[in-house]
Structure 1
Amino acid sequence: MSKTATDPVALTQELIRCASVTPAEGGAIVLLDDLLSAAGFVTTRTDRNGIANLFARWGQGRNGRTFGFNGHTDVVPIGNRNDWTHDPFGAEIVGGILYGRGACDMKSGVAAFAAAAIDFVKDTPPDGSIVLAITGDEEGDGVDGTDAILDWMNANGERMDHCLVGEPTCPNTMGEMMKIGRRGSMTAWITATGRQGHSAYPHRALNPLPALVRYLDTLASHTLDDGTEHFDASTLAITSIDVGNPANNVIPRQGTAVANIRFNDAHSSAALTEWLQSEAAKVQAETGVEITMTIKVSGESFITPPGELSDLIGRAVTAETGQIPELSTTGGTSDARYVKNHCPVVEFGLVGQSMHQVDEHVAVDHIHQLKSIYTRILSGYFTT
């Protein structure tokens, strides 16, 4: 190892001190741009619609193998500052624990793969290229983040052959889990419209609420599937019901609801949309209440089949932690949903228990360990 090895903990601290709450850049992307440029990476800002993004490549030419890392520097809001024991942007280390917003999700992950990449190309220059795709728009809608970087890459003839997303993936202990896929996610905003009237004369009104409740019960009672080879069963959750009616003697004209579906590879968003609309049409025909909806798809389900990439990562994780990581598809969405359209992608990172919480934190030893794992992955990738 180089005597001047890049310290991933110090870099994590610098990044935490950048108040990069989505969509603010906060200095984090600028910091990484300067660091990577000084280390010999060719960097390009791929900003879109005011969102800061960074593409960095090390390697001569584009004909050799290219390994990519993806991650984000933006963070969620801190909530009530008074609830924090430590300054959320202070990056304090107490008892071997580093505190701060983004410590877990995922400035430590970005610092670990940036430090690993910088030292790897300095100490053992590979026959190939390393790409770092870093966004400031993962915690928001994400449409101007990693997707913007990939659009720029496609337009400029850049590519990754394989990619690792450094999101926290381990539930309890370092090394126990990697993600080889993710469920799809979609949300339906549902509106039931009838005719307002006096509650004492319900025959003169068309109450939308019984129809809405009937429809929601149909959705919530339906079993989407029992799971597939690599995925748990799909789920549908009713997350909001609202009438906005302050009067107890008025039948409202409208009622609204929100439903979120997390779906596996037995479904597509298009097929689920058709089902939602079909069930709505049935209730509308039976009740005369109009049921309309707006649907947003956050991502389709996907899987990177177990094989070369997951084996490589698994060997590196086991060598450093002694654990054989489970191949999982659990959890919410991540930017891997964009990367999977470009190249095979797997996620591996820290223990994620404190992400988005007050006093978000990470063990200092885990950051060093993660850098070592990423270094082993690079070494294995370019020596096979």
Structure 2
Amino acid sequence: MKNKNLHTKAIELLFNLIATQSFSSEEDKTAALIEQWLKGFDILFTRTNNNVWAINKYFDSSKPTILLNSHHDTVKPNGDYTRDPFKPEIINNKLYGLGSNDAGGALTSLLSTFAHFYEKEDLAYNIVIAATAEEESSGQMGLNSLLIDLPEIDFAIVGEPTLMQLAIAEKGLLVLDCRSIGTPGHAAHIKNENNAIFNAIEDLQWFNSFEFPKTSEVLGKVKMTISQINAGKQHNVVPEACDFVVDVRVTDAYTNKEVLKIIEENTKCKVKARSMRLNSSSISIDHPIVQSGIGLGRTTYGSPTLSDQAVLSCPSLKLGPGDSTRSHSADEFIYVDEIKRGIDLYIKILEGIL
């Protein structure tokens, strides 16, 4: 299939996706657009909730399988937009619109790559494409809900904006709800020696200063950030509790479970993790897909941002057109040429192993 035709079809689809609201858990209309796009290439597909997926025409269960995945949900536009976030426009090679960069460019490029390989026989790998929902909210009805329906996956390419460089590792995420307990009382009475706020300070200082012993070669150190705090309702009442939230970015040097255990052993507050399933992920630099990319001049790095890689148990590579620094920004955009180059590079990288 001619790449030029794929370029045109990808950009047409991205225009339609931008013009269609698809906040997390509200992706039914963009799922329908993706269905129609696949029908245009005579690709057989399955829709599971708002996830649309397909396998290559000559799927062979005796062969290993590659998953190509990206998401079609978006965050809500922030208040600094000066343009209509749902009005796709190309100005000076920039395609503007909500979700254009994160992750519409990667999604439409991967769909085009799948269409390129769909009817090819005698591939060394099977290929599965999954356009999934609820990535931005880490929801329960996204990729993680689909894995039980997909063939066994040997490795995955997750489409996110990486400037088409190879993110061979990604930090995981633990969000911790912490509560320091004290004795409530009247502020006018004798000094309360069990003030929940002061009890929290000791743990807050520990979170701020502690460094985990192991450092990842690719991702560096585990990072803990205190992001929210709340205590008290009246000026004259010592509160019974001080609640705070800690954002923990976990490297591949630890599992989420190991990190949580270290935190519990070193703090006095009650700690509850909102989820344990958003683990760090990685792929060996020696993996054939990584080596294929390096051979085409791509560089490797570790990504601090979370994606659907977190729910995969197989080796995975984050790779896609666009720039992560534009994600969730006002007046989001992607360069049209980035999409075209993205499709071409995806195809060349996969041709290196197929």
State whether TM-score is above 0.5.
Answer: yes
The 5 Å alignment of 1:40-119 reads 40-47=42-49, 52-62=50-60, 63-80=62-79, 83-119=80-116
Secondary structure in structure 2 of the residue aligned to 1:88: coil
Kept in 2, the 8 Å contact 1:23–1:137? The answer is yes
Encode CA deviations 1:217-274: one digit per residue, 9 max, x unaligned. 1222211136222221111111112113331x32222211111211223322222222
> Which residue does 2:30 correspond to in 1?
28
Q: Equivalent residue of 1:151, what SS? A: coil
Deviation by residue 1:327-377 (Cα, 9 ceiling, x = unmatched)? 2222121111223x1x32111112222110110001111111101111212
2: CA distance, partners of 1:79 / 1:26: 22
Alignment of 1:112-191 (within 5 A): 112-121=109-118, 125=121, 127=123, 129-153=126-150, 158-170=151-163, 175=164, 177-191=165-179
- Say whether 1:215 aligns with 2:203: yes
Give the number of the structure whose alpha-carbon radius of gyration is greater.
Answer: 1
Whole-angstrom distance in 2 between the partners of 1:199 and 1:372: 68
Between 68-77 and 188-197, report the one with greater CA deviation. Answer: 188-197
- 1:264 maps to what in 2? 251
Q: In the alignment, residue 33 of structure 2 is paired with which amino acid?
A: L
Corresponding position of 2:186: 198
Aligned to 1:11: 13
The amino acid across from 2:16 in the alignment is: E
C-alpha spacing 1:2/1:252, structure 2 compared with 1 (3 Å): closer
> Are residues 1:292 and 2:270 paired?
yes
Distance in structure 1 (CA, Å) of the matches to 2:333 and 2:159? 16
State the one-letter code of the partner of 2:14. Answer: T
Tell me: CA distance 1:3–1:44, structure 2 relative to 1, closer, same or farther (3 Å).
closer
C-alpha spacing 1:125/1:93, structure 2 compared with 1 (3 Å):
farther
Contact between 2:72 and 2:133, CA under 8 Å: does it hold in 1?
A: yes
Distance 1:4 1:360, change over 3 A: closer
Matched, 1:364 2:352: no
Distance 1:55 1:276 in 2: 39
**Bigger shift: residues 61-70 or 23-32:** 61-70
Is 2:283 aligned against 1:304?
yes
Identity of aligned residues (%): 24
Unmatched segments (≥5 aa) in structure 2: none
Q: CA deviation at 1:126?
A: 5.1
CA RMSD across the alignment: 2.1
- The one-letter code sitting in structure 2 at the alignment partner of 1:380 is G
Paired with 2:59 and 2:156, the residues of 1 have a C-alpha distance of 18
- Kindly indicate whether residue 354 of structure 2 is the aligned counterpart of residue 355 of structure 1: no
Question: How far did 1:298 drift?
Answer: 4.9
The amino acid across from 1:5 in the alignment is N
Alpha-carbon separation, structure 2, partners of 1:312 and 1:202: 71
Q: Name the SS of the counterpart of 1:227 in structure 2.
A: coil
1:274 aligned partner: 261
Q: Deviation at 1:194? A: 1.6
What SS does the corresponding residue of 2:307 show, helix, strand or coil?
A: coil
SS in structure 1 opposite 2:109?
helix
Match of 1:346 among 306, 317, 321: 317
Q: TM-score, normalised by structure 1?
A: 0.84
Tell me if the contact between 1:162 and 1:345 (Cα under 8 Å) persists in the aligned partners.
yes
Relative to 1, partners in 2 of residues 1:204 and 1:163: Cα closer, same or farther, differing over 3 Å? closer
Distance 1:298-1:42 versus aligned 2 partners, 3 A rule: same
Map Cα deviations across residues 95-125 of structure 1 (whole Å, 9 max, x no partner).
1110000000001111111122213445x55
Amino acid at match of 2:278: G
Change (3 A) 1:368 1:31: same
**Counterparts in 2 of 1:27 and 1:141: CA distance versus 1, 3 Å:** same
Cα distance in structure 2, aligned partners of 1:4 and 1:333: 32
- Aligned AA for 1:69? L
Detail structure 1 runs of 4+ shifted over 4 Å in the superposition. none
Shift in CA distance, 200/84, structure 1 to aligned 2, threshold 3 Å: closer
The Cα shift of 1:9 comes to 1.6
Question: Using the alignment, how far apart are the partners of 2:232 and 2:39 within structure 1?
Answer: 54
Q: What SS is found at the alignment partner of 1:105?
A: helix
- Check 1:66–1:39 CA distance in 2 against 1; reply closer, same or farther (3 A cut): farther
**Offset of residue 204 of structure 1:** 5.8
User: Residues 272-311 of structure 1, C-alpha deviation per residue, up to 9 Å, x if partnerless?
Assistant: 2222222234xxxxxxxxx322212352223211121211
